[in-house]
Structures are given as C-alpha cells and as structure tokens.
Amino acid sequence: MPGKTPDERAALEAQGAVILNVFKAAGFAHIAPDILQPADVFLDRAGEEIRARTFVFTDPAGTELCLRPDLTVPACRYHLSHSSAPDAESRYCYQGPAFRFQPEGGSPLFPAEFDQAGIEWFGAADPERADAEVLGLTVAAMAAAGLERYRVRIGDLGLVRGLLHSIDMPERWRRRLMHQFWRPRAFRTLVDRLTGARASARTSISPLLDRLAGGGLEEATGLVESELDARGLQLAGGRTVDEIAERLAEKAADRHAPPLDEAKAALIDDYLALRGRPEAVLGDLERLAAATGASMPEAVARFRRRLGQIAATGLAGHELEFAGVFGRNLEYYTGFVFQIEVDRAQGGSLAIAGGGRYDNMLTDIGSPVAVPAVGCAIHTERLLAAAKGALA
C-alpha cells in the first residue's frame, strides 16, 4: 500500500493530540515504548490470531525480535523497567505505530502499519472502578475526536472462569476450555468431546495412549523418550520432552475419565447464549450462579458492581450489549473485555477500539509480584474515517 499523504498524516496527528489530551487530563503519563520487541513475549502470550500476523525477524546477534503488533505488551515491559515497584499504581498513555501482516495486502482500514493510541492502568486498588473508568475514557477520547454513533460490546472472562470452576470437572479440562474460548467452533467441539457427544477419532498417537492406560506423567515421559530413541527422531517445534509427555498423559487420562455431565454442560450453553442489555442479562446471570454455586456468585457480584461503576461514568445511556460468547481475540485477557464498533456503509461492523483486564500479563513477563492491569487501544485510522463518515 502507498504511504499516507501529508494531509492524512496531519489529520492523524491532530486527532492523536486530542486523544492524548483526554488521557493526560485524567492523570495518565505519556510514554513511548520501543517499536522493536522480543518476539517470544508476543508469540507466547498474544494468541494464535496475532501470532500469525506478527512480523518476526532475527538480528545479527541471533536474537529473535518483532515489530510490535500492539502497544499493550510494550507498555507492560516499559512499566517493569521504569517503575520503582511493579505493583505500584501507574497510569500510562501512548500513541504510535503498530504492525500486523495483512494476508490480502492491506487496505486503508486494514493496513500493515497503523497508528494506535491507548492507556494502561497498573496496580489499581479497585478493579471494577478501574475497568469502568478505562471504558469511560475510551468513549470520551473517541467523542472528543468527533465520533458520534457507535456500539459498545462487553464480555467477562471472569464469568466464564467462575462458571467453569463451579462445574465438577478435572482442572485440565478447565484449562483447555479457557484456552479454546476465543475459538467458538473449537470450544463447541471440545465440550462435545468431554460429554461424549462427539467421539474422539483414533490418530497416529492412539497406540501410545493405549499403552499409557492407567499411567501417569512419569510413564508418559519414559514412553516419549523411548519412542524418540527407537525412531531416531529429534524434537521439533520448540517443545520439550516434558511438555510432550504432559500432553500425552492428559490425553490418556481423558480416555478413562467419566464424561462431563450433560446437565452441567448445558449450563455452559446457557451462559454462551446470553446476549442483551447488561442490566437485563444480570438477572439471568444471577439465576445461573444460584444453579452452580462455588465461585460463580462472586464473579456475578463483581459484574454487578462493575455495571454500577460504568453507570457512574455516564455511559448508562449508550448502547451497551453483553454477549456471553464475547472475549476478543487476544488470549492474555482475564476478566472484563469491551469493544467499540461502528456500522460500515457496505454492511457489517468495524471495531474502532477495544480493551479489558489482563491481570496475569506482568507476572508472565517477569514481575515478581501480581499486578492487576486494565487498558484500551484505539485504531486511530479507523476512528478518523468513522468520525468523518468515510467508512466504506
């Protein structure tokens, strides 16, 4: 794609100044994270959709680097290298280029290089209030940039996790269900397999699973090592013997585990079917919590409190929709998520901004203590086009 014209660049810079003024007025310090980032941070934590679109290369010293596909992880790394204490409350705002491969060559709304503005809030003592304020500031920044018509879609991975922990199943099943939540078709297939509604087909590793019947991790490790030696194979794909053995042992254990109760699986379906105004959905969530118990009621109570905090920001009159299936496509999110969308002239919708809570990210990349975190990112080219009514 050709580069931006001077007028287009000037318009983006003027819009960026407006957005940053909103964020800085709310107490967020302006930072400029590095464009070049360690590739493993993104490849390990961002999720399949982003991994497949990240520009990765090796420098002359052999270090694998990438062009940042978003600015959240670079902001986290900036915080860990500059803050006096990882869990000290810190608020940052930024604007700058991000890079994602576009399989079809890109377009004005889907460029390989695009501007992103956003905020990250670390160490907030009141998570629900911070969630609501980040959403409110995102909407305020877009309104200041001239956007008038939009929808806000919200979800809550904390509710998903609370529901799964309220249903009796092996912990390994919960991990796999959460891992697949961002891929609805794969999630549905996994639920069907766990209930026995869909039989697992025999594959090339089925004989190994037969030999592992009743065995554990130690037996699986020995089996993997003996198979590699017998076949003269080398490890590939970056996985270790222990990682392969662990996955093999889990698959073998699944063969002998009782299936997931269909009535319990139906509770998952009930949650995924929820859609509508958050206040209307709240009653359904509370009935679901009453039917499950355990950690689900606590997750619903946090959801209720967050709705109250969102209303306090003045967003109650805007078009908010909750969807049980909504989780965005970045796998580092752990709780509240949101996306701001506009209609396109040719039909369909377009995401202008999004964000949410990601409480595990900083420990994943090196923090010695847990650090609660929430943030947002705005795709400024799309915002500029939407504010001008120029969406195709």
pLDDT of residue 51: 79
Give how far Cα 298 sits from Cα of 8, 286, 366, Å. Answer: 48, 10, 29
| Per-residue pLDDT reduced to its tens digit, 158-203 | 999 999 999 999 998 999 999 899 888 999 999 998 998 765 555 5
pTM comes to 0.87
CA 318/CA 95 separation, integer angstroms:
26
Q: Are strands 151-156 and 320-323 parallel, antiparallel or unpaired?
A: parallel
Q: Three-state SS for 268?
A: helix
Closest to 42 measured CA to CA, from 28, 33, 54, 34 = 54
- The DSSP secondary-structure symbol of 200 reads P
- Where are any strands of DSSP class E within 46-133? 56-58, 64-67, 90-99, 113-122
Closest to 244 measured CA to CA, from 213, 211, 221, 267 = 221
Phi–psi pair at 171, nearest 5 degrees: -60, -35
What CATH number has the domain spanning 6-163+270-387? Answer: 3.30.930.10
pLDDT at 147 over 60: yes
| Per-residue pLDDT reduced to its tens digit, 151-166 | 999 999 999 999 999 9
pLDDT at 255 over 80: no
Q: Which residues contact 315 (CB under 8 A, 6 or more apart)?
A: 132, 135, 136, 139, 152
The residue type found at 175 is: R
Q: What is the mean pLDDT of residues 315-324?
A: 81
Is 321 or 216 the better-scoring residue by pLDDT?
321
pLDDT of residue 177: 94
pLDDT of residue 197: 74
Check if the beta carbon of residue 346 is closer than 8 Å to that of residue 321.
no
CA torsion, ordered 69, 330, 359, 287, to nearest 10 deg: 160
Mean pLDDT of the chain: 87
Q: Give the model's confidence band at 247: pLDDT under 50 very low, under 70 low, under 90 confident, else very high.
A: low
Task: In the chain, list all ranges with CATH 3.30.930.10.
Answer: 6-163+270-387
| Per-residue pLDDT reduced to its tens digit, 35-90 | 999 998 877 776 667 778 899 999 999 999 999 999 999 999 999 999 999 999 99
